[in-house]
Chains A and B, each alone.
Chain A
Amino acid sequence: MTSNFRSDRRRFLQQAGLAAAAPAALLAPGLAHAAWPERPVNVIVPWGAGGATDAIARVVGIEMERDLGKPFNIVNRTGGGGVVGHTAIASAAPDGYTIGMATLEITLYKLMGLAELTPASFTPIARLGFVPGGISVSANSPYKTLQELVNAIKAAPAGTFKASGVGVGGSWHINAGGWMRAVGLEPQRLRWVPSQGAAPAYQELLSGGIDIVTASPAEGRALIEAGRVRPLAITHSERVAMFPSVPTLKELYGSDWQMSSWMALVAPAGLPRDITARLIASAKKAQESKAFSDFLTERGFVKVWEAGDDLARYLTQFAAQMDPVVRGLGLVKA
């Protein structure tokens, strides 16, 4: 309710502003946005400073700043499982001065009844990178392969095995549900223990509080390299460079289920086409920079490029993939 009121008020102010600017616009018809950007651009990050989304936004921001010659300010609007920040992006004025680094949650909020946000609330700019999920157990777990683990889950009553990686309804929770479906089990077979993120989940794994983590192995890299955590599979179509010896779920079970945590540059819906095009071009340059590549390799991210309409199609397809799993996990609000 409040957000509607807000955007109405904002729209009113905007129109008032447009009215005031009308004489200037008459003098320069057709060149309305030619000068964009004339002032600093705010990049809203719906997640905390220091996290992966924040870091990727900062690296891209620096490159785009260099390219477009105006500061790109990173603004962390955290809380509410990303709802607050994503809403702030969607309800901003579509003038190119507020953009944001969105994450896959934008395809899920509406379905789960958490916010009136869908991919249509945004102008897609570009999906830049993703980090593939995985299935990991503690190094002192008796399961050496994914098959052993799956057989044990099949043999035990539902809820015996506890998994974690993120809060209820987060990406890695859905990964757990999708994996269960992929091996012919009901999505709720694993008991989900919510956590504040991958790092606390890996710690729970070490402390023996849970059995499985479905977050990305890259997020548990230090523990895996120290021999404390054993990654059994990657939930992506291909193996990842950081852990070349870890097989994919597809290799082991022939399943097409994949889940990655991705980040995409977006703007409020209704961004003028010329600004969209310039943002895409600049994001492309940033994505091709060495700094960006180094950063991705370091963090175990995979580079990807889908821009504009391609990204819009990807979002639709992604949402369709998630839908049955989210329903199977009982996360859809009636």
Chain B
Amino acid sequence: MDALLQGAQLVLQPQTLIAIFLASIFGLLVGAIPGLTATMAMALLVPVTFFLEPITAVGAMVACSAMAIFAGDVPGTLMRMPGTPASAAYTDEAYAMTRNGQASLALGANVVFSAIGGIFGTIVLMVAAPALAELAVKFSSFEYFWLAMLGITCAAFIAAADPLKGVVSLCLGLLVATVGINNPAGQPRFTFGSTDLVGGIDFIAAMIGLFAIAEVLRFAGSARTELAVPQAQGGRIFAGVGALAARYWPQALRGNAVGTVIGSLPGAGADVAAWIAYSVSRRFSRTPKKFGTGHPEGIVESTSANNAALGGAWIPSLVFGIPGDTITAVVIGVLYMKGLNPGPTLFLNHPESMYAIFLVFIVANLLMIPFGWALIKAARRILSVPQGILMPLILLFCTVGAFAATNSLFGVVTMLAFGVLGLLMERHGFPVAPAVLAMVLGPLLEESFVNSMIKTDGELLGLVQRPIAAGLAAVCVVLWLLPLVKSLRRRDGAHATALG
């Protein structure tokens, strides 16, 4: 109890509160600008943390990342451009709601369920940190292989109308992911003698291209001058959210749980959590047909998941010093510099710091509701700007983002190339999402498979000889067989009707 009070004192210092306030605004702006990721916001914050007290620095980083992950939803909903990759999973869905005139409802759901997800993740972090980290830390390459396989499998479900085109898109993403030297053998692949390609194709730049540049190009290529301007509705952002909560609370809860668990797995963060939560939601929905048409169910689940993942990611980071995602990788660097070395001893030596970090999480997620409301209001104003002015501005921000992602013009070139690719894919009915997911999971899939094979001397059975790996494998196999079973059953049904 003493430690809790001391923690509260640390958080309630004026300088800490001011830092949280400013970092929140910074996080909202960076998150709302398509192409600038939450990780980038954190990296930009690192030099500032040099001048702050330890808890103040951590508070600023927590607030900044939570706000950035939520803020990514706003341009995703209003303009079909996810502000951060964590919003990409349900961008199409949220934009469809905007087209149906339900932008307010979509944004209201985003802000409220993001905040709830964030608080849920925090509570799990506080209660179950040591236990959950124990589980996650037992994951070896075998478990990771099946986890990546699960993600790849889910990508096939995200692939909307035509599964075949979805798989083509998936394979394209996997191919892109093979470029460069960051493969298990450390050999350059598909580099054509270019130093830039040795580093691989930057995922962030490619994603900005596929999502944002394709949109700008589509606008430029369309004859209409006013395109997809979201309906400027009244201020009732939170109207209808209560009804959503009443109707979809099981989905929100499941999204929170999925997000926290995935967040706590080292390496998998908010973006993977959102993808998996979205496809889980679709998989188990009573109305899967409505997905993709502006249906809030999947949004509720995945927007809950990505913010819950933030709290989850801190679990292995704090307990073992193993980053849960790219954001906490930056945080761990700062923690070391501030003498708050992550590890089990942190809980023994600095319990007050632990409580302070937890409290900052709660404060940041509560602040998200008023701040999110303000951002949505401001975003509306930005969107009343004519598209002819907005699009070049977006292009500018995207260019800055792609440059910042790689610190080189090659990132901008990548972005533009993928913009053209995204445009072509959409024109011909190939979904973009599976390609993006494959780019994230491809390296993980390859690395975990090769490492597993090295460990087992090429014995494939080794992939299912550990209990958790076998469990994950079983889930994958069930997911693979479901469509087959369904189509067989359908055929049987048709057969029976024909006979009858």
Contact of A162 among B182, B185, B196, B455 (CB under 8 A): B455
Q: Scan residues 127-174 of chain A and give those whose CB is less than 8 A from a CB of chain B.
A: 159, 162, 167-170
The interface-forming segment of B27-35, B165-173, B319-327 is: B319-327
The interface-forming segment of B138-146, B153-161, B212-220, B418-426 is: B138-146
Tell whether B494 is near chain A: CB-to-CB under 8 Å. Answer: no
Asked if residues B193 and A299 are in contact (CB atoms below 8 Å), the reply is no
Asked if residues A49 and B330 are in contact (CB atoms below 8 Å), the reply is yes
Tell whether B345 is near chain A: CB-to-CB under 8 Å. Answer: yes
Asked if residues B333 and A168 are in contact (CB atoms below 8 Å), the reply is no
Asked if residues B46 and A84 are in contact (CB atoms below 8 Å), the reply is no
Tell whether B332 is near chain A: CB-to-CB under 8 Å. Answer: yes
A-B contact pairs, 8 of them (CB 8 A): A74-B47, A79-B199, A194-B185, A194-B450, A199-B322, A203-B320, A222-B341, A226-B343
Considering the complex, give the chain A residue whose CB is closest to the CB of B201. A79
Q: Scan residues 27-79 of chain A and give those whose CB is less than 8 A from a CB of chain B.
A: 44, 48-51, 54-55, 58, 62, 74-79
CA distance A88 to B196 in the complex (A): 9
User: Interface size (B, Cβ < 8 Å)?
Assistant: 55
Chain A residues positioned under 8 Å from B480 (CB to CB): none
Chain A residues positioned under 8 Å from B332 (CB to CB): 50
Contact of A79 among B202, B333, B342, B454 (CB under 8 A): B202
Asked if residues A203 and B344 are in contact (CB atoms below 8 Å), the reply is no
Chain B residues positioned under 8 Å from A88 (CB to CB): 408
Tell whether A87 is near chain B: CB-to-CB under 8 Å. Answer: yes
Tell whether A210 is near chain B: CB-to-CB under 8 Å. Answer: yes
Contact of A83 among B181, B202, B454, B455 (CB under 8 A): B181
Contact of B454 among A74, A162, A223, A225 (CB under 8 A): A162
Asked if residues A79 and B186 are in contact (CB atoms below 8 Å), the reply is no
B188 to chain A, nearest CB (A): 7
B209 to chain A, nearest CB (A): 17
Contacts A51-B333, A80-B200, A115-B195 given; does A194 touch B345 at CB 8 Å: no
Chain B residues positioned under 8 Å from A1 (CB to CB): 193-194
Considering the complex, give the chain A residue whose CB is closest to the CB of B454. A193
Chain B residues positioned under 8 Å from A74 (CB to CB): 47
Tell whether B6 is near chain A: CB-to-CB under 8 Å. Answer: no
Tell whether A16 is near chain B: CB-to-CB under 8 Å. Answer: no
Considering the complex, give the chain B residue whose CB is closest to the CB of A46. B199
* Top 9 A-B residue pairs of the complex, sorted by shortest distance between their CB atoms: A79-B199, A222-B343, A209-B140, A50-B333, A80-B198, A168-B186, A84-B199, A222-B321, A207-B140
A2-B196, A88-B408, A199-B321 given; 10 more Cβ-contact pairs under 8 Å: A74-B47, A78-B406, A79-B198, A80-B182, A80-B200, A83-B181, A83-B195, A114-B181, A193-B454, A298-B341
Asked if residues A210 and B455 are in contact (CB atoms below 8 Å), the reply is yes
CA distance A206 to B200 in the complex (A): 30
Asked if residues B196 and A84 are in contact (CB atoms below 8 Å), the reply is yes
CA distance A229 to B222 in the complex (A): 61
Tell whether A200 is near chain B: CB-to-CB under 8 Å. Answer: yes
Chain B residues positioned under 8 Å from A284 (CB to CB): none
Tell whether A221 is near chain B: CB-to-CB under 8 Å. Answer: yes
Asked if residues B333 and A80 are in contact (CB atoms below 8 Å), the reply is no
Asked if residues A203 and B195 are in contact (CB atoms below 8 Å), the reply is no
Tell whether B184 is near chain A: CB-to-CB under 8 Å. Answer: yes
Contacts A1-B194, A167-B186 given; does A77 touch B343 at CB 8 Å: no
Q: Scan residues 79-107 of chain A and give those whose CB is less than 8 A from a CB of chain B.
A: 79-81, 83-84, 87-88
Asked if residues A194 and B186 are in contact (CB atoms below 8 Å), the reply is yes
CA distance A173 to B339 in the complex (A): 30
Contact of A75 among B188, B407, B447 (CB under 8 A): B407
Tell whether B337 is near chain A: CB-to-CB under 8 Å. Answer: yes
Tell whether B387 is near chain A: CB-to-CB under 8 Å. Answer: no
Asked if residues A295 and B321 are in contact (CB atoms below 8 Å), the reply is no
CA distance A297 to B188 in the complex (A): 37
Asked if residues A79 and B182 are in contact (CB atoms below 8 Å), the reply is yes
Tell whether A208 is near chain B: CB-to-CB under 8 Å. Answer: yes
Asked if residues A50 and B141 are in contact (CB atoms below 8 Å), the reply is no
A175 to chain B, nearest CB (A): 16
Tell whether A191 is near chain B: CB-to-CB under 8 Å. Answer: yes
Asked if residues B184 and A168 are in contact (CB atoms below 8 Å), the reply is yes
Chain A residues positioned under 8 Å from B141 (CB to CB): 193, 204, 209
Contact of B43 among A49, A84, A199 (CB under 8 A): A49
Chain A residues positioned under 8 Å from B331 (CB to CB): 50
Contacts A79-B199, A80-B195, A80-B199 given; does A50 touch B330 at CB 8 Å: yes
